[in-house]
Amino acid sequence: MAKYILKRILYLFLTLFIIASITFFLMKLLPGTPFSNQNRMSADQLKIVKAQYGLDQSVGVQYVRYMVGLLHGNLGTSFQFNNEPVTALIGQRLAPSMQIGAQAMVLGTILGILLGAVAAIRKNTWVDTLATFISILGLSIPSFVLAVLLQFYLAYKWKIYPVALWDNFQSSILPTLALTALPLGTVARFMRTEMVDVMSSDYIELAKSKGNSNWKVVTKHALRNSLIPVVTIIGPMAVSVMTGSMVVENIFSIPGIGEQFVKSITTNDYPTIMGLTIFYSFLLIIVYLIVDILYGLIDPRIRLGNGGKE
Amino acid sequence: MEQIPQIPKEKFKLVHDENNAEQEKISTPSLTYMQDVRRRLFKNKVAVVCLTLLSLIVLISIFAPVIAPHNPNEQQVTLSNLPPKLGNLNIPGMNGYQNMGGKMVDAYKQAGAPKGTSFILGTDYLGRDLLSRIIYGTRLSLVVAVLATLVDLLIGVPYGIVSGWKGGKTDTFMQRIVEIVSSIPNLIVVILMMIVLKPGLTSIVIAIAITGWVTMARLVRAQTFQLKEQEYILAARTLGEPSMKIATKHLIPNLSSTIIIQTMFTIPNAIFFEAFLSFIGIGIPAPNASLGTLLSDGQKAFRFLPYQMWAPAIILSIIMIATNLLGDGLRDAFDPQSSDH
């Protein structure tokens, strides 16, 4: 197991290195300059500004510099946004994104598990149909559409929640709800398939024939065993929540990293785009790694990488 | 040895002669695999409804120039932001009346529209007919989806077949690439490509295709691995068939179910990405309409003119739901065991 984890961490750095390199050269390929009013600057001024950002050196030198900086956890300086270091920019904005992301993941997973389990237990009844319908809706309706609808009805029309504000828990409810739909749909669907499988297995038959109550069979045997594979979809779920949060944060004006990313794109702030790209990739690779390790720990049948031997 | 006494032939009698023939008769025509798939698909009511809906949407998109009542990019600034109106029918919400300061006012009369003008889904802030824009927008979104899927097929399927067929070192190397590509978040690659390339249809297709083929390649590879061990493939190899011919003649037909099902999940994905990119403003450039740009425009005016958001939102959701459900239906039809679950 330790060897496997070590190997994975090695790959993590390799992948990050490749992503960082690709991002760097892509940004260099971009047409135009990062300065918005270059025409009004004199040649000397331009030289000073370029030197300030290290843009006067050759691309190779810039690349080595950036990579060395990356090793020290330095993602460069933003061209816009008050010339702040990109790391500081991310640091300030991490908390709101993490909060709504985590809330949506937890809420979506719990509701999804319940919905999927109920659908599986009441298989082929109207309960099942309704649950399947809800999960399909959650899977299909893009989070930004949902966000706008929630904003219009719950905030603007019925005034239950603030339209767009970020101060207390109250203001995180709508964005969380908008992001919850996708994990809910994904988990519910997955859970139903797993649970139906488990419910028709021999040990459930045995548990039933021993005279256990239905409730006990479901909670003690069926639910537990169907939960294990659900761990595997946490990774893809994190991706979808992250994707959703970019627009949802924008719609609700939440000062998070998703909103920052979109803003950097529209203002051509290359260092910030680069920094956030690397940061996002890092986050996701870590999530995938943790999920894989967790899965190996929970289910001893699957010890990845070494053929089932410890 | 004891002699077996001769039994006269007349003593033998066929029991239930006609009945036997009846029992042995094959009453249902034998079906090929594809016929069976089709039968199972058409028995699934949900899938049929989705198929019909999608066919309708595709047909409308193909014949958009004939069906759309107006030019989607034609601006009539005097007739901007008109509410929906369906002829002279007096249906609340579809009669051209608008709530202005607590009173219902005929917005068409106020804007000085010539008599008889009616926009079924109203107009946007530049006075463009929303229905026509939605028809053309759906068309553009579907074009993105089809092109992205084609690229997906052209890269993902051969990649998966080669990787699975060759095995060994080639496979390990090819899978390493897949691993790296798939560990980079899709959306980030798409966004980066969109920043580097000029916004537009081609860029969106390229951006989606760069990451989209990975899932297809993975599935095809896994399936190829299984098929490789089948007797008929072994027979073909023993007979000296070239690999290329085995791939086209034996592998692809047997992979078709996997490919078709995966395609049904690529399409909504592509449509979602297009809408997403256009929504945050780096997708299809103005003045062309796509479902994403329409949603983005609609969202800006949603507080006061909700109809501008509703129509594209509903169409987008219908397409997404229908493709997802049809994908499920196809999976059940191709693999009946999965529906027993």
Interaxial angle between packed helices A270-298 and A86-121, expressed in degrees from 0 to 180 and rounded to the nearest 10? 40
Contacts of B179 in chain A (CB under 8 A): 11, 15
Contact B307, B126 (CB under 8 A): no
Please, are residues B106 and B267 in contact by the beta-carbon 8 Å criterion? Answer: no
Whether the complex's predicted ipTM surpasses the cut of 0.95: no
Last residue of a domain, one of B118, B144, B177: B118
Could you give the CA distance from residue A1 to residue A229 in angstroms, rounded to a whole number? 19
CB A142 to CB B321 under 8 A? Answer: no
Query: B303 and A242 in contact by Cβ < 8 A?
Result: no
pLDDT tens, position by position, B86-130: 666 666 666 666 666 666 666 666 666 666 666 777 777 777 778
Residue with tokens 């034609």: B74
Tell whether B279 is within 8 A of chain A (Cβ). yes
Domain that holds residue B249: 45-77+129-334
CATH number, residue B58: 1.10.3720.10
Q: What is the mean pLDDT of residues B278-291?
A: 80
The number of residues in chain A equals 310
Q: Is B138 helix (H, G, I), strand (E, B) or coil?
A: helix
Can you tell me whether residue B300 is helix, strand or coil?
helix
Q: How far is B114 from chain A (nearest CA, A)?
A: 33
Residues with Cβ within 8 Å of A197's Cβ and at least 6 positions away in sequence, in order, are A226, B341
List chain B residues with CB under 8 Å of A195.
none
- The predicted model scores a pTM of 0.79
Contacts of A289 in chain B (CB under 8 A): none
Q: Which residues of A touch B184 (CB under 8 A)?
A: 15, 19, 281
The conformational region for residue B105 under phi > 0 = left, psi -120 to 50 = alpha, else beta, is beta
B14 found inside a domain: no
Q: How far apart are CA A222 and CA A63, in angstroms?
A: 54
Whether residues B166 and B111 fall in one domain: no
**A–B CB contacts, 8 A cutoff, strictly below:** 97
Q: Which of B33, B138, B60, B55 is nearest to B326 (CA)?
A: B55
Contact A266 B325 (CB under 8 A): no
Judge if B113 and B149 occupy the same domain: no
Across-strand partners of B105? B98
CB count, 10 Å around CB of B50?
22
Q: Name the B residues in 221-260 with CB < 8 Å from any A CB.
A: none
Question: Which of A15, A129, A144, A242 to probe by mutation at the B interface, max B CB count within 10 Å?
Answer: A144
Phi/psi at B95 (nearest 5 deg)?
-115, 10
Total H helices, total E strands in chain A: 13, 0
> Whole-angstrom Cα distance, residue B321 to residue B50?
8
Dihedral pair phi/psi, residue B240, rounded to 5°:
85, 25
Q: Are residues B52 and B184 in the same domain?
A: yes
Q: Which residues contact B9 (CB under 8 A, 6 or more apart)?
A: none
Contact partners, residue A84, CB within 8 Å, separation at least 6: A77, A78
Nearest CA to B298 out of B286, B311, B285 is that of: B311
Q: Which spans in B93-167 are helix H? A: 107-110, 130-166
- Residues present in chain B in total: 341
The distance of A49 to chain B (nearest Cα, Å) reads 23
Q: Which residues of chain A neighbour B317 with C-beta distances below 8 Å? A: 140-142, 145
Question: Which pLDDT score, from 0 to 100, does residue A306 have?
Answer: 41
Triad B203, B205, B206: Cα angle to 5°: 65
Our count of domains for chain B comes to 2
Q: A141 to chain B, minimum CA–CA distance in Å? A: 5
Q: Cβ separation of B272 and A30 shorter than 8 Å?
A: no
A41 touches chain B (CB under 8 A): no
Q: What is the DSSP string of B245-257?
A: HHIIIIIHHHHHH
Q: What is the pLDDT of residue B52?
A: 92
Q: How many CA atoms lie within 13 A of A126 on its CB side?
A: 0
Which of A38-52, B39-53, B247-261, B281-295 is least confident? Answer: A38-52
The CA distance from A147 to B313, in Å, is 11
| B70 and B161, same domain (yes or no) | yes
Q: Quote the Cα angle for B252-B254-B258, to 5°.
A: 85
Tell me whether residues A136 and B325 touch, CB distance under 8 A: yes
Query: Same structural domain for residues B111 and B186?
Result: no
Per-residue model confidence (pLDDT) at position A301: 59
Interface residue B53 vs chain A (CB under 8 A):
no
Residue B223 lies in a domain: yes
Distance CA B277, CA B293 (A): 9
Q: What percent of chain B has pLDDT over 90?
A: 5
Question: Quick one: B291 and B190 in the same domain?
Answer: yes
Instruction: Phi first, then psi: give them for residue B302, nearest 5 degrees.
Output: -60, -40
Residue B101 is predicted with a pLDDT of 63
- Are the Cβ atoms of A19 and B324 closer than 8 angstroms? no
Q: What is the pLDDT of residue B340?
A: 45
Is residue B319 assigned to a domain? Answer: yes
B104: helix, strand or coil: strand
What are the tens digits of pLDDT across the range B136-157?
A: 889 888 998 898 888 888 998 9
Structure tokens at B196: 């580097």
Q: Chain A contact for B198, CB < 8 A?
A: no
What is residue A79's three-state secondary structure?
coil
- CA A271 from centroid of its chain's CA atoms: 21
Residues from chain A that touch B192, judged by Cβ atoms under 8 A, are 23, 26, 273, 277
**Residues contacting residue A247 through CB under 8 Å, at least 6 positions apart:** A143, A144, A147, A258, A262, B276, B279, B280
Range ranked top by mean pLDDT from B87-101, B247-261, B293-307: B247-261
Indicate whether B111 and B141 sit together in one domain.
Answer: no
Residue B238 domain-assigned (yes or no): yes
Looking at chain B, which residue has its C-alpha nearest residue A195? Answer: B341
B230 and B246 fall within a common domain: yes
Instruction: List the pLDDT tens digit at each of the 310 positions of chain A.
Output: 778 788 888 878 888 888 888 888 887 777 656 665 666 677 777 777 777 767 777 778 888 888 888 887 777 777 776 677 888 888 888 888 888 888 999 999 999 999 998 998 888 889 888 998 898 888 888 888 888 888 877 777 777 777 666 677 777 788 888 889 888 998 998 888 888 888 888 888 888 888 888 888 888 888 888 887 788 788 778 877 887 888 888 888 888 888 888 888 877 777 888 888 888 888 888 887 888 788 777 766 555 444 433 3
Q: Are residues B223 and B265 in the same domain?
A: yes
Q: Which of residues 257-276 of A touch B (CB under 8 A)?
A: 261-262, 265-266, 268, 273
Residue contact B279–A144, C-beta within 8 A: yes
Beta-carbon contacts of residue B222 (< 8 Å; ≥ 6 apart): B164
Write out chain A residues lying below 8 Å of B196, CB-based: 26, 29-30
Interchain proximity B320–A288, CB inside 8 Å: no
How many Å apart are CA B161 and CA A50, to the nearest integer? 49
- Residue of chain A with shortest Cα separation from B184: A281
All domains of chain A, ordered by start, with CATH?
89-259+290-308 (1.10.3720.10)
Task: Provide the CA B231 distance to its chain's centre, in angstroms.
Answer: 34
The verdict on B135 and B247 lying in the same domain is yes
The pLDDT of residue A256 is 85
CB contact under 8 A, B341 and A136: no
Section B190-199 average pLDDT: 78
Q: Quick check: A246 and B188 CB within 8 A?
A: no
Rounded CA gap, B325 and B316, in Å? 14
Contact between A75 and A273 (Cβ < 8 Å) = no
**Domain-located, residue B55:** yes
In A, which residues are within 8 Å of B49 by CB distance?
Answer: none
Q: How far is CA B2 from CA A230, B5, B8, in A?
A: 75, 9, 18
- What's the gap in Å between the CA of B275 and the closest CA on chain A? 9
In 3D space, the residue among A181, A112, A102 whose CA is nearest the CA of residue A146 turns out to be A181
**Residue at B244 is within a domain:** yes
Asked if B72 and B89 sit in the same domain, the reply is no
Higher per-residue pLDDT: B304 or B331: B331
- Encode pLDDT of B11-51 as tens digits: 887 776 666 666 677 777 777 777 888 888 888 888 899 99
Q: Is the peptide bond before B287 cis (omega within 30 degrees of 0)?
A: yes
pLDDT at A309: 37
Q: Which residue of B has its CA nearest to A147?
A: B299
Do B53 and B163 fall into the same domain? yes
B87: in domain? yes
Domain finish residue from B99, B118, B137:
B118
Tell me the two tokens of residue B150. Answer: 């084609």
Distances in Å between the alpha carbon of A77 and those of A8, A23, A184, B289? Answer: 31, 16, 38, 37
Contact B306 A152 (CB under 8 A): yes
Amino acid at B186: N
Compute the half-sphere exposure of residue B131: CA atoms within 13 Å on the CB side of its CA. 16
Report pLDDT for A31: 63
| A residues 121..150 contacting B (CB < 8 A) | 136-137, 139-142, 144-145, 148-149
Q: Are the beta carbons of A148 and B309 separated by less than 8 Å?
A: yes
User: What is the residue-wise DSSP string for A18-76?
Assistant: HHHHHHHHHHHH-SS-S-TTGGGS-HHHHHHHHHHTTTTS-HHHHHHHHHHHHHTT---
B279, part of any domain: yes
The rounded Cα B15 to chain-centroid distance in angstroms is 58
